[in-house]
Amino acid sequence: MSKITFLGAGSTIFAKNVLGDSMTVPALQDFEFALFDIDYERLKDSETMLKNLKKNLNSSVNIVVYTDRKEALRGAKYVINAIQVGGYDPSTIIDFEVPKKYGLRQTIADTVGVGGIFRSLRTIPVMMDFAKDMQEVCPDAWFLNYTNPMAVLTGTMQRYGGIKTVGLCHSVQVCADHLLKDLDMPADNVQWKIAGINHMAWLLEISRNGKDLYPEIKKRALERQKTTHDDMIRYELMQRFGYYVTESSEHNAEYHPYFIKSSYPELIDRFNIPLDEYPRRCVNQIEEWKEMRENLINDKDLTHKRTYEYGSYIMEAMETDVPIKIGGNVLNTGGLISNLPDKACVEVPCMVDASGVAPTTVELPEQLAALNRTNINTQLLTIEAAMTQKKEHIYQAAMLDPHTSAELSIDDIVSLCDDLIEAHGDWLPTYK
């Protein structure tokens, strides 16, 4: 029996989406769904939910819970990664509260910035352990990474893990529809092209029935900016740099040096920036889960419709050899995007079939590549820090981060990093 292993299967709602999707795919029937999580209670919740789903979808998959990670991975053909090392408490709280003492404010803190750097540093060792286990018990498996920071973690696996890896994020496939809906424009018969880096990929082309939609999009966006809304950062970036970016405004507010500035506090209201957004979401999700758990876990009539998450479509394409196109995060080997570094993890159109994931080459306008490089600098130094365990590279990653360096002095950046290292304690390896 072929096996799909889900690491972080206690993420019950996400497991429902990806594994529920997979239950609807004929080519994935009779697979074993191997569930693993370090939180046994949440793991058993997911098992109960998935077994209800299996029955109601008339699926023939076999759902198995594992408490031994290596055994969960043994013989796997596909491995789905959806872990969060350190969780909301203590790690996310630390990532937000310690920088606040230095006057450094964040919105999401899961990609770059000091929050993204330290989320990477506590997650990379765990993923390297995954890679070591996989090399031993399922060396030919595909590793489908959904965990953030996407570019850093996927890039680390691709450069150092020795495992076939692709990073997946749904911001690509929802980007064009979100934009057109927000501007009251029809979304049928629309073609688009997206490339860049994860959370900062660019809508390079968008057309409907062969007609370029960008002139009308920019006209409507300019009018939209006259009133407060939730996408003001992206529209501002589009106005200044020419193209719409895939990830949300609350994310992009902290990827650039222009928007969250203690010396210009009025920018927060002007661009409707939700500071501390991610901790609020975490608290709300924890409370909502308490109410949702009973209905989701014990609903004997629970059903599911296939979502837009790429995971099941990738596995289906590899099993059937019927090609699909995805937006995948892959290593920029050979200059897939020629004006970005080869070591960068880039997000580009990829074809997927039985032979694997085949990325395509894309040329970015120079101003977009320049913006990407400002984030890639921090990503590459974060990987360097994790793999060498040298503090100096943590400092350098933070010094090169656009938002952090725009707000703090070099001395304060070093001091902040030291405070974060101390606060995270055993969640991090020892740095020299």
**Which residues participate in the annotated binding site for Mn(2+)?**
169, 199
CA 209, 214, 218, 224 torsion-angle sign? positive
**What percentage of the chain's residues is helix, strand, coil (to nearest 5)?**
50, 15, 35
- Name the phi and psi angles at 230, rounded to 5: -90, 0
Q: Count how many residues are written for the chain.
A: 432
202 close to 195: Cβ distance less than 8 angstroms: yes
Residue 149: asked if its preceding bond is cis (omega within 30°), the reply is yes
Catalytic annotation on 256? no
| Cα diameter, the chain | 61
CA distance 346 to 152: 10
Contacts of 194 (CB under 8 A, 6+ apart): 172, 175, 201, 202, 203, 204, 246, 327, 347, 349
What count of Cα atoms within 13 Å lies in the side-chain half-sphere of residue 57? 24
Catalytic residue among 170, 229, 251, 403: 170
CA distance 23 to 28: 7
Q: Which residues are annotated as a binding site?
A: 148, 169, 199
Residue 90: asked if its preceding bond is cis (omega within 30°), the reply is yes
Among candidate residues 401, 381, 393, 402, the one with its CA nearest the CA of residue 421: 393
Residue 356 CA from chain centroid, whole number: 21
Active site residues: 170
